[in-house]
Amino acid sequence: MGRGRREKTFACACTVLACALLVGAHLAAAPGPSVEGSAPEPGPDYPGHAAGIRERVKGQGFTVVIEPPFVVVGDEPAHLVKRRSVKTVRWAANMLKKDFFRRDPEKVVDIWLFKDKASYEKNTRAFFGIDPHTPFGFCSSDGRSLIMNIGTGGGTLVHEMVHAFMKPNFPQCPAWFNEGLGSLYEQCREKEGRIYGMTNWRLRGLQEAIRAGKVPLFEKLLSTTDHEFYKKDRGTNYAQARYLCYYLQEQGLLAGYYRGFRDNREDDPTGYKTLKKALGEEDMRVFQKKWESFVLKLTFP
């Protein structure tokens, strides 16, 4: 069963199944805006959905918390599951909505927080019939569940939440930006009331690749199809996309760039023209040099 599922998905370095969500995103219709005067569409039945999960996990030490648009399920002590629901899930959802996302996922997305490696492996098999191929966490192939080994920290959870929100808000978003933004917030905090991505472990390899002259031009990165981004990655795609987002963040351009890219997607599906415009750069080779020296000066930790 696991193998069949795997073949339908692209690899995501952090989250092997995440890209199923992205591929599905191209096919799924986003919920339309409500029409003035028409009856509002009923929202998801969170209590009913949570009751279904409680039944499913009955007697196994799980706590189920409704945190719209998510339902959080975890087998850490109840107070910890509740704290993560507020401090990580609610916080990140509010922050991401503030800067990027207007729409919630159309259906409830479940966030499974397994307390450690043993629970993560055993329960992913028990509840989803698959073996996890990443130690941190991933998104199920139908996009309805984020499955985490929360013992490794909350970074992958925020990364996956970006994908869960990107799907209804910018279904055509190419992998390079979806993964760049998701991985930006793998290490994040709040700064002046906004979500702020910090440098992280992806920096070192990128700096080495820059010094070795192995980082492709942005024109090339942005023109990658999802298949090329995931399957033909020479090891720098995630980091290059992440640190482009980081650069835009540092210039105060990231949220505006996202909105411009989303709104201009028909004319500029890769986001390259919108990037040039946001940066005010005529010559992107000059920008590439500028960005490379910016990245080489960053530090982590």
Query: Which spans of this chain sit near Zn ion (rule: CB under 5 A)?
Result: 12, 15, 18, 179, 182
Beta carbon nearer to Zn ion, 15 or 236: 15
Minimum distance between the CB of residue 158 and Zn ion, rounded to whole angstroms? 11
* CA–CA distance, 258 with 263 (Å, rounded to integer): 9
Give the count of beta carbons closer than 10 Å to the beta carbon of residue 58: 8
Minimum distance between the CB of residue 22 and Zn ion, rounded to whole angstroms? 8
Beta carbon nearer to Zn ion, 163 or 292: 163
Assign 64 to helix, strand or coil.
Answer: strand
Contact 149, 116 (CB under 8 A): yes
Beta carbon nearer to Zn ion, 12 or 215: 12
Contact 81, 72 (CB under 8 A): yes
| Residue 21 burial (10 A CB sphere; 0-12, 13-18, 19+) | buried
Can you read off the two tokens belonging to residue 17?
Answer: 């199944």
Give the count of beta carbons closer than 10 Å to the beta carbon of residue 179: 31
Beta carbon nearer to Zn ion, 132 or 182: 182
Minimum distance between the CB of residue 184 and Zn ion, rounded to whole angstroms? 11
* CA–CA distance, 13 with 153 (Å, rounded to integer): 16
Beta carbon nearer to Zn ion, 218 or 229: 229
Minimum distance between the CB of residue 205 and Zn ion, rounded to whole angstroms? 17
Place of tokens 């984020």: 146
Q: Which residues lie below 8 Å from residue 261, measured CB to CB, with a gap of 6+?
A: 170, 173, 177, 268, 271, 274, 275
Contact 139, 160 (CB under 8 A): yes
Minimum distance between the CB of residue 217 and Zn ion, rounded to whole angstroms? 23
Q: How far is CA 175 from CA 20, 110, 185, in A?
A: 11, 22, 15
Minimum distance between the CB of residue 11 and Zn ion, rounded to whole angstroms? 10
Q: For Zn ion, which residue has the nearest CB?
A: 18
Beta carbon nearer to Zn ion, 84 or 163: 163
Minimum distance between the CB of residue 207 and Zn ion, rounded to whole angstroms? 22
Beta carbon nearer to Zn ion, 100 or 287: 100
Minimum distance between the CB of residue 213 and Zn ion, rounded to whole angstroms? 27
Beta carbon nearer to Zn ion, 146 or 209: 146
199 DSSP 8-state letter = -
Exposure letters 119-144 (e unless 16+ CB within 10 A, then b): bbeebbeebbebebebebbbbbbebe
